[in-house]
Structure 1
Amino acid sequence: MPAESDLHVVLGAGGAIGGSVVRELASRGHRVRAVNRSGRMLAPHGVEVHRGDITTVEGATAACAGAEVVYHCAAPAYDRWVEEFPHMTDTVRQGAAAAGAKLVFADNLYMYGPIDGPLTEDLPYAARNPKGRVRAEMAEALLAAHRSGELRVALGRASDYYGPGGVNTIVGATVFGAALGRKTARWVGPLDQPHTLSYLSDIAKGLVTLGGDARADGQAWHLPTAPAVTGREFLDLVLAELGRHGKTAALGRPMQRLIGLFNPTVRALGETWYQRDRPFVSDTSKFTTTFGPFAATPHTDAIAATLDWYRANPTP
């Protein structure tokens, strides 16, 4: 049955992206249901917190019931994408369809594979590594469901993210936590290659824009963000915000291989090293041309807010 109320359901609400989407929706006055496995989280006043297992059709259907828009921000552990992500996304699709809801998927840029030049939405899905193929297959399946009329779908694609609450990211504890602790802040990959970094608040605003505009339906969109920076520039901005000198370094391919012998998450980064050893720049002009100007958060402001969060939530 079609949804009959302004209810926006966020799946994976306990994660960094999902939590940001919850806050953005609440700030706009929407009715929000925040779904995670535990049923516990700090949420804005008025937000319904729902305990749900979206890896089953029954759980996903219950979580999505009554929704007008469903935001799929949930993900398995990074090293379990291949085994678990497609099934999870399939059950979410069925749950959203049962509710008659529009589905907005928080996607990334893995499906394109190695590219020389800016990343645009019209590129073929050329990735040959397992994580890239999984991302491509999920995107293709969701867009096929849209074309078939099963449900409305929009895909919002972001690059590596950072921001308050962003810990499971290459610029989380190894950059912000380390810099605050006066340890060496490490950038994954060479320091001299430009790289698009997405700020969590901007990702949330972009996804909510897609959820509320029919022009987004049936397409993938690169979400707006501040201009790409090199690793060296980003680390320098972090230290400048701290107002002191500090140690910085690159985590190169040999060290990634060595650490990967003991850490499956770091090991998995080797599959997508082409995102590190050359320019990795997302072109977001399709979004701004369609939906209008987007005031992406400058890296200086985003870094300041992220450092504040890490001060209040120190990492071990």
Structure 2
Amino acid sequence: MVIGERGVADLLDTPVVLGAGPVGRSVAAALVARGTRPRVVTRSGTTIDGTEPWRADVADPDATRAALGRATAVFQCAQPPYHRWPRNFPAIQRSVVRACEANGAVLVAIENLYGYGPVSVPMTEDLPMRPTTRKGAVRAALWAELLDAHQSGRVRAAAVRASDFFGAGVRDSAYGERFFGPLVSGGKAQVLGSPRARHAITYVPDLAAAAVRVAEDPAAWGRAWHAPTAPGITQLALVEAAARAAGVPPAFVAVKPWQLRLVGAFNSGARETVEMLYEFDHDFVVDSSAFETRFGQPPTPLDRALAETVAWYRQAGA
């Protein structure tokens, strides 16, 4: 199919979501709320209310092409485990790009901020890619390839980037179960790095809504956008705000680098986090004003987002 064959009005008529982690599920929920029935592609054929499950390995170009069918928009939310990023992530993205190239679907890739590397200013989308970590280098390379595919006319693509995210269903995150899990029970939230460093966090429903908005706006393609993200506050202030939402005393324990390295000896997730500690030792602030100004979508107020997250953790724990 020739790119541009479909009109703008039907861009979200037949959406496909790749991956069913917290981000994929949230994107699928946002699409269902708009009255569509997205196809959700996973290796296990995960079933989500209101969606069409499809079993495929997105690293396989033929399987991905079949999974996309006549998709009008594709949301790339799938990723390999941290320790497999250098080996597996490029193949996944190339497979997805080739499939979108074949059928003309708009491709929105969900990314993070690793590619920028350490910076001392609020991050904007025009910052150069200067990664200092292995996973940051992968992210920067993936974006360079995606941008080249768009600029060469192979695909219509954009990226939506988020900081460390939180929300219902988010467990494997710096602000996931190690943070909210103990806190909602009156225990101590675990924080990395300096408790007094500011750190912006992105609410997953805001990220999902941003991805959908970008997909349906042709003028938004060909670039990266920062999802609406609340102004960065210190991790100490974040603990206090989350504790208020949970109705418990604020308490935390700061995980030391040597402790993370020790756990990393037998836990790949902890081992892969070590190189990202710069995000938590110093201020890590996101500027999402470009997206907010264009689309009129501010981040969900932090107190409300935290309350909704706490409620989910309480229910999950029960």
> TM bucket by the smaller chain?
over 0.9
Distance 1:244 1:145 in 2: 50
The answer to whether residue 306 in structure 2 is matched with residue 299 in structure 1 is: no
Task: For 1:179, give the aligned amino acid.
Answer: L
Q: In structure 1, what is the Cα distance between the partners aligned to 2:167 and 2:311? A: 10
- Structure 1 runs not aligned, ≥5 long: none
Q: 1:41 aligns with which of 47, 50, 57?
A: 47
Taking only aligned residues, the RMSD between alpha carbons, in angstroms, comes to 1.5
User: For 1:10, which of 8, 17, 25 is the aligned residue?
Assistant: 17
Moved more, 159-168 or 299-308: 299-308
Whether 1:91 and 2:89 are equivalent positions in the alignment is: no
1:269 aligns with 2:273: yes
Query: How much has 1:246 moved relative to structure 2?
Result: 4.8
1:131 Cα deviation from its structure 2 partner: 0.3
Instruction: Spell out the pairing of 1:97-112 with structure 2 (5 A cutoff).
Output: 97-112=101-116
- Report deviation, 1:253: 2.0
Q: AA paired with 2:134?
A: P
TM-score by structure 1 length? 0.94
Hey, which bits of structure 1, 4+ residues long, moved more than 6 A? none
| Structure-1 separation of matches of 2:158 and 2:117 | 21
Q: CA deviation at 1:314?
A: 2.4
Deviates more, 1:156-165 or 1:88-97: 88-97
Identical aligned pairs, as a percentage?
A: 38
- Report the count of equivalent residues: 311
Asked whether the equivalents of residues 190 and 252 of structure 1 are also in contact (C-alpha less than 8 Å), the reply is no
Residues 157, 221 of structure 2: 8 Å contact kept = yes
Query: 1:183, CA displacement in angstroms?
Result: 2.9
- Residue in 1 aligned with 2:215? 211
TM-score normalized with structure 2 length: 0.94
Aligned to 1:312: 315
Contact persistence 2:192–2:277 (CA under 8 A): no
Verify the 8 A CA contact 2:14 2:37 in the aligned structure 1.
Answer: yes
In the alignment, is the contact (CA less than 8 A) between 1:190 and 1:251 conserved in 2? no
Give 1:256's aligned residue: 260
Given the alignment of the two structures, is residue 21 of structure 1 paired with residue 9 of structure 2, yes or no?
no
Structure 1 residue 165, shift from structure 2 partner: 0.7
Deviates most, 255-264 or 303-312: 255-264
When structure 1 is superposed on structure 2, of 250-259 and 126-135 the one drifting more is 250-259
User: Which has the larger displacement, 22-31 or 35-44?
Assistant: 35-44
Cα contact 2:184–2:248 (8 A) shared by 1: no
1:129 and 1:248 mapped to 2: Cα distance?
A: 27
Task: Give the counterpart letter for 2:186 in structure 1.
Answer: R
Q: Tell me, what secondary structure is at the counterpart of 2:86?
A: helix
- The correspondence for 1:167, drawn from 150, 166, 171, is 171
Superposition deviation, residue 41 in structure 1: 2.2
Q: Distance in 2 between matches of 1:251 and 1:222?
A: 28
